[in-house]
Amino acid sequence: MTEARRHAIVVGASIAGLGAARALANHFDHVTLVERDELATGSESRKGVPQARHAHGLLPSGYRILSDYFPGMMDELVAEGAMRGDLTGDFLWYQYGGWKLRADSGLEAIVVSRPCLERKVRARVAAMLKVTLLQGHDCESPVFDPEKRRITGLSVTNRATGATVTLEADLVVDALGRGSPSPRWLASWGYGQVEETTVPIEVGYATGVFERRPGDLYGSLGAVIAGTAPQSTRFAAILGAEGNRWIITLAGCLRDYPPTDFTGWKEFASTLPTSDTLDLVKDREPIGPIASYRFPANRRCHYEKLPDFASGYLVIGDAVCSFNPLYGQGMSVALSEAYALDHCLASDDRDLAQRFFREAARIVESPWAIATGEDYRYPQVQGRRPPGFGIVTRYMARAHRVAARDPVVLGRFFRVASLLAPPTAMMAPGIAWRILLAGIGAAPEIGPARKVALA
C-alpha cells in the first residue's frame, strides 16, 4: 500500500536534514528543505549550528554513506584542502593512559571543518532537480488533521517579510536538532508523552584555530588525547582542516569547563596527559577568538515506544538522540538514519513511522551504549548502569591497552568506535582471547611517532 508521494518537506537543513532530503529524493516527486538560517555560500559557521566552530570528526560509517550518496564529493573536498587518511595509521589516539598502535586499519576518514563539509553536502543536495531549498524560513509547526490523524503540511514564516504560509505535504520530517518541539507537538495532537532518557555529562568545549605546519604532530592528520575517567575529566581533539589549519578543541566533563582566554586555555592544555597539544600551540597564536560551547546531557527520545504515531510525520537526527559530542558520533548516526529512511521507503508505506523509529532505535543503540558507557565511568554521572558494567569497563580498559600493540584488536576496536560493528564485536572469541591473554607491559609502547607497517 503506497500513499501519495508527491511532496515531502524536511525541516532543518543541517546534516540530518540534508541526509533526509537526499534519501527522500529517491522516493518523492519533490522535496522541500526548510531552514531558518540564510545559508552562506562560504565556509563560515552559522547561527543555527553553533557547534560547527568546534572539532567535528566524521566517523568512517558516515564517510561511507556520504561517499555513496554523493560520488566524488570526498575527492572534491580533498582538492579544496581537506585531508584523507587512515583512522589509525594517520591519526593519533591517546586513551586510557597510552597511545594506540599507529598502523593502518583500512578505515578511511577525512578531516575537514564542519562548515566546509556541510556546505559541500548542501550544494550537492540543492543541485538535485527534485529538491528546493527554502532558506530564511522559520518552521512554526506541522499542520495536523485530527480526523485523518495525519500531518498534511507545515506552517512557515518568511523571516524577511514576516508572512506565514502553509506548505502542503504528504510527509514532513523534523530535522530540527536537539531543541526539536516534536515531543510537545505530538502530545498536543493526542499521542501522549514521548519517553526520554537523559544522562547528564555537562561537558564544555573551547576551540581555537591555529596554523598547521609541515611535520606537526608527527605528520599526522589529527589526534585525540583523552584523560582517563574517573580521575581526569579533560580531553583534546586536534583535527586538521582545509586552509592549512588545526582546529583544536579542549573539553572538560562535569563542569570542568576549559577557559576561553588563551593563557587559561594553554594552562588547561598543560594538564592533559601528554604535552602534544601545548607543544603544538606554544609558538602560535589562535586565528580569531576561542569559541566555547556547553553540552548538558546525552538525550534520547524513544519515539519507537509510542503506541501510535501521526501519519505523514517522522523525526530524525539529534532530534531523536544527541550524544556527548566527545565520541564524534552525531553526524554519522544522522546519516545512518537517513539511509534507513531510504530503505524503509523502498518498501510500502504501511507502518512507516513504526518501522523507521524501530530502525532508528537500533541504529542509536550502539553509539548510545558507547557514549553513556564512557560517561558512566564517572561515579557522579547519574543513571542506571547496564548489567555487568564493572566487568565490561575493566575488559575495555584492557582492550585499550592491548590495542597499543595488537593490530587485530586495534582494527576491531575502531570498527566498533566507527559504528561499523556493534560493541559486542569486542567480545567475539577471536578478539576476547587476544585481549585476555595478551602480555600487557611485556614490550615497550611503540608511541605515535612511528607508523608501523603491517605485513
Ligand X SMILES: Cc1cc2nc3c(=O)[nH]c(=O)nc-3n(C[C@H](O)[C@H](O)[C@H](O)COP(=O)(O)OP(=O)(O)OC[C@H]3O[C@@H](n4cnc5c(N)ncnc54)[C@H](O)[C@@H]3O)c2cc1C
The answer to the question of residue 175 lying near ligand X (CB under 6 A) is yes
Q: Label residue 110 exposed, middle or buried (CB < 10 Å: 0-12, 13-18, 19+).
A: buried
The answer to the question of residue 366 lying near ligand X (CB under 6 A) is no
Select the residue interacting with ligand X from 23, 57, 300, 402 (CB under 6 A): 57
CB of 337 within 8 A of CB of 16?
yes
| CA 389 to chain CA mean position, Å | 24
How many other CB atoms are found less than 10 A from the CB of residue 286? 17
Window of 43-51, 255-263, 343-351, 405-413 that interacts with ligand X by CB under 6 A? 43-51
Q: Which of residues 202-231 bind ligand X (CB under 6 A)?
A: 205
The answer to the question of residue 15 lying near ligand X (CB under 6 A) is yes
Give phi and psi for 248, each to the nearest 5.
-115, 115
The answer to the question of residue 16 lying near ligand X (CB under 6 A) is yes
3-state SS class at 197? strand
The answer to the question of residue 293 lying near ligand X (CB under 6 A) is yes
**DSSP secondary structure code for residue 28 in this structure:** -
Select the residue interacting with ligand X from 86, 318, 349, 374 (CB under 6 A): 318
Q: Beta strand 83-86 with 108-111: parallel, antiparallel or unpaired?
A: antiparallel
Extended beta strands in 35-90, E state: 83-86
The answer to the question of residue 56 lying near ligand X (CB under 6 A) is yes
The answer to the question of residue 14 lying near ligand X (CB under 6 A) is yes
Give the nearest distance from C-beta 451 to ligand X in angstroms.
Answer: 23
Q: Which of residues 319-358 bind ligand X (CB under 6 A)?
A: 319, 325, 328-332, 334
The answer to the question of residue 235 lying near ligand X (CB under 6 A) is no
In the complex with ligand X, the residue whose CB is nearer, 142 or 330, is: 330
Select the residue interacting with ligand X from 22, 27, 36, 64 (CB under 6 A): 36
The answer to the question of residue 139 lying near ligand X (CB under 6 A) is yes
The answer to the question of residue 246 lying near ligand X (CB under 6 A) is no
Which residues on adjacent β-strands are paired with residue 131?
Answer: 31
Give the nearest distance from C-beta 447 to ligand X in angstroms.
Answer: 25
3-state SS class at 155? strand
The answer to the question of residue 317 lying near ligand X (CB under 6 A) is yes
Distance CA 403, CA 87 (A): 14
Among all chains, which residue has been given the C-alpha cell 517579510? 161
In the complex with ligand X, the residue whose CB is nearer, 54 or 405, is: 54
143 Cβ partners below 8 Å, 6+ apart?
Answer: 151, 152, 153, 154, 155, 166
Distance CA 68, CA 136 (A): 29
Select the residue interacting with ligand X from 3, 108, 138, 445 (CB under 6 A): 138
In the complex with ligand X, the residue whose CB is nearer, 110 or 438, is: 110
Distance CA 126, CA 120 (A): 10
In the complex with ligand X, the residue whose CB is nearer, 88 or 322, is: 322
Applying CB under 6 A, which residues contact ligand X? 11-17, 34-37, 48-49, 51, 54-57, 138-139, 175-178, 205, 293, 295, 317-319, 325, 328-332, 334
